[in-house]
């Protein structure tokens, strides 16, 4: 399934509104993961990036990339949307880094180009994982790490489309998630736990950790409505995979 054209159109359309709503928080504080903006200092997923060659898959307005470049990483920000890349270019600080338009399933980089490939609800949420994960593994050097955060299948299976919120009732078949229809014909992707393991291991990656970020009681979800409000304190809303290439 070629979701690139529709996903590119969607993100070009919504980029301005998305950044207007979310950048005041994620742009002000570095290294925040996911829907609940949990600091990496609490999750210890990314580690020290000083001197590392880093690729962000789906960089958006570059909030993560700016922070890592300022920490001394050699960063490349990749995004499918030219509107998102324009936002990243406008927001770029003193620590400059290149921006590349491209798709996670068709990475325009040579093998062994990076020490770290990562995304936070980026390319591995908006590209078929069975294509994008091998591409990420290909561009990593030996010992390089793939670290990424995506929605949990629990979260997706409990999402009530009619109510536009996550509930305590299973709404969709766990084994039938795979592709999720988004607005304007766009598509996002969701795998089961087992399928993520198969895709990662099939790409030759070693799974070092699976972090299920758990927000504190009362932590707001900046992106979705949940019922009850503290849904993610009780059930895993996100999966933060930490892997490396042997």
In the chain, where are the structural domains located? 3-214+226-245
Reported for 1-5, long-range contacts at CB under 8 A and 24+ positions apart, including other chains, are 1/128, 1/179, 1/187, 3/126, 3/127, 3/128, 3/186, 3/187, 4/80, 4/103, 4/105, 4/106, 4/127
Question: Which phi and psi (to 5°) does residue 57 adopt?
Answer: -90, 105
The answer to whether domain 3-214+226-245 has CATH 3.40.50.150 is: yes
Instruction: Give residue for tokens 């793939």.
Output: 146
The structure tokens listed for 198 are 């198969």
In whole angstroms, give the CA distance from residue 149 to residue 33. Answer: 7
Per-residue pLDDT of the chain (246 residues; tens, 9 = 90+): 699 999 999 999 999 999 999 999 899 899 999 999 999 999 999 999 999 999 999 999 999 999 999 999 999 999 999 999 999 999 998 889 999 999 999 999 999 999 999 999 999 999 999 999 999 999 999 999 999 999 999 999 999 999 999 999 999 999 988 999 999 999 999 999 999 999 999 999 999 999 999 999 999 999 999 999 999 999 999 999 999 999
Euclidean distance between CA atoms 104 and 106, whole angstroms: 5
pTM of structure: 0.96
């Amino acid at each position: 399934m070629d979701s690139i054209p529709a996903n590119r159109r969607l993100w070009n359309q919504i980029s301005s509104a998305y950044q207007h709503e979310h950048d005041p928080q994620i742009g002000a504080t570095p290294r925040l993961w996911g829907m609940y903006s949990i600091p990496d200092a609490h999750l210890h997923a990314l580690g020290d990036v000083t001197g590392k060659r880093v690729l962000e898959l789906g960089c958006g307005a570059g909030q993560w990339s700016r922070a890592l470049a300022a920490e001394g990483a050699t960063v490349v920000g990749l995004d499918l949307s030219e509107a998102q890349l324009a936002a990243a270019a406008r927001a770029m600080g003193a620590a400059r880094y290149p921006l590349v338009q491209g798709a996670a399933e068709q990475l325009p980089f040579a093998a062994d180009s990076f020490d770290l490939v990562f995304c936070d609800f980026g390319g591995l949420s908006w590209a078929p994982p069975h294509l994008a994960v091998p591409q990420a593994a290909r561009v990593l050097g030996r010992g390089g790490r793939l670290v990424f955060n995506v929605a949990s299948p629990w979260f997706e299976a409990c999402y009530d489309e009619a109510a536009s919120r996550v509930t305590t009732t299973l709404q969709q078949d766990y084994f039938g998630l795979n592709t999720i229809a988004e607005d304007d014909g766009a598509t996002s992707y969701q795998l089961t736990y087992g399928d993520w393991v198969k895709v990662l291991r099939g790409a030759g990656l070693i799974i070092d950790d699976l972090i299920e970020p758990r927000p504190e009681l009362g932590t707001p979800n900046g992106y979705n409505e949940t019922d009850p409000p503290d849904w993610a304190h009780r059930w895993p809303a996100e999966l933060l995979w930490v892997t490396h290439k042997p």
